[in-house]
């Protein structure tokens, strides 16, 4: 029997082995580089270098735009009638001379809208060197009295500015804690009736739940907690039909939705008013 020969092992070519070794070193090198890069990034972040780089880049951009003439040289104001120009400029801060691209339009608008007279604002860039501020101002609707101080408010109850007792005396007075926030709906209801609004001296908040109207002739109108808008419409209709607000009345009580009670000055008894509330337009 012939001898059995063992199968010889296939030898790996030298170039293939070299390629494998190189590949292994490449992978290890890439992994090591990633670790080193991560460590460098951590060190830069911990040392605050990213912020320094960002600030340096910002200064570079600002310097470039300033060199190109793109810096704020003037501020143009539009719509400011009651708001002092100096007040708006103070709200914007020292932006004159700053690079145009570094002015935050969002922050500038928020600062201007924080001013009492300003209802809304828009801030835009007008190249090459102008910042334009356009505002819509609040319309005074009443004067709010709280803690012996007077504040001008708009129809939504937003405080505009502090005033003295001689300014805006033609506007109704809003009296009571929390009255400014709650007065909007009543002021809107009064605006529908010009004569009643002109006669109204004060809106008095009672128990932080309902209103009394005090007229300039010292008559008092007691409004219900719910549905006071309709009660205001009813009293205006009653006056149009019977000149009720010209009569010598101490008060008109509208708190009961089914009947209206009035009391004349100097009298202790009460009388029922014409049935305008339940009947709509009829007289009784």
What number does CATH give the domain 66-137? 3.10.20.310
Asked if domains 66-137 and 140-279 share a fold, the reply is: no
The predicted pLDDT at position 111 comes to 96
The predicted pLDDT at position 70 comes to 85
The predicted pLDDT at position 134 comes to 97
- Whether the ω angle into residue 267 lies within 30 degrees of 0, i.e. cis, is no
pTM for the model stands at 0.65
Each domain of the chain, given as residue ranges in start order, spans 15-51, 66-137, 140-279
The predicted pLDDT at position 181 comes to 87
140-279, what's its fold? Answer: Rossmann fold (3.40.50)
The predicted pLDDT at position 61 comes to 45
Q: Tell me the C-alpha to C-alpha distance, in Å, between residue 173 and each of 53, 98, 125, 169, 202.
A: 57, 45, 41, 8, 4
Tens of pLDDT, residue by residue over 211-258, are: 999 999 999 999 999 999 999 999 999 999 999 999 999 999 999 988
Identify the segments of the chain with pLDDT beneath 70. Answer: 1-69, 269-284
């Amino acid at each position: 029997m012939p001898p059995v020969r063992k199968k010889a092992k296939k030898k790996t070519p030298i170039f293939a082995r070299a390629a494998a070794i190189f590949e292994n070193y490449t992978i290890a090198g890439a992994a090591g580089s990633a670790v080193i890069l991560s460590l460098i990034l951590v060190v830069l972040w911990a040392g605050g270098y990213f912020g320094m780089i960002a600030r340096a880049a910002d200064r570079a951009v600002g310097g470039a735009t300033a060199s190109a003439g793109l810096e704020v040289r003037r501020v143009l104001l539009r719509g400011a009638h009651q708001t002092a120009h100096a007040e708006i400029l103070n709200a914007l801060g020292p932006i004159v001379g700053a690079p145009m691209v570094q002015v935050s339009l969002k922050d500038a608008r928020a600062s201007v809208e924080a001013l009492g007279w300003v209802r809304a604002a828009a801030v835009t860039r007008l190249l090459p060197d102008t910042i334009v501020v356009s505002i819509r101002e609040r319309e005074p609707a009443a004067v709010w009295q709280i803690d012996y101080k007077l504040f001008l408010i708009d129809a939504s109850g937003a405080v505009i500015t502090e005033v003295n007792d001689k300014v805006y005396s033609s506007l109704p007075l809003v009296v009571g804690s929390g009255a400014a926030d709650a007065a909007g709906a009543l002021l809107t209801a009064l605006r529908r009736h010009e004569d009643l609004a002109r006669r109204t001296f004060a809106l008095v908040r009672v128990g932080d739940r309902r209103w009394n109207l005090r007229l300039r002739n010292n008559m008092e109108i007691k409004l219900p907690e719910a549905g006071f808008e309709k009660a205001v419409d009813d009293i205006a209709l009653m006056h149009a039909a019977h000149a009720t607000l010209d009569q010598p009345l101490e008060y008109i009580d509208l708190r009961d939705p089914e009947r209206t009670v009035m009391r004349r000055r100097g009298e202790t008894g009460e009388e029922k008013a014409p049935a305008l509330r339940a009947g709509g337009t009829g007289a009784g």
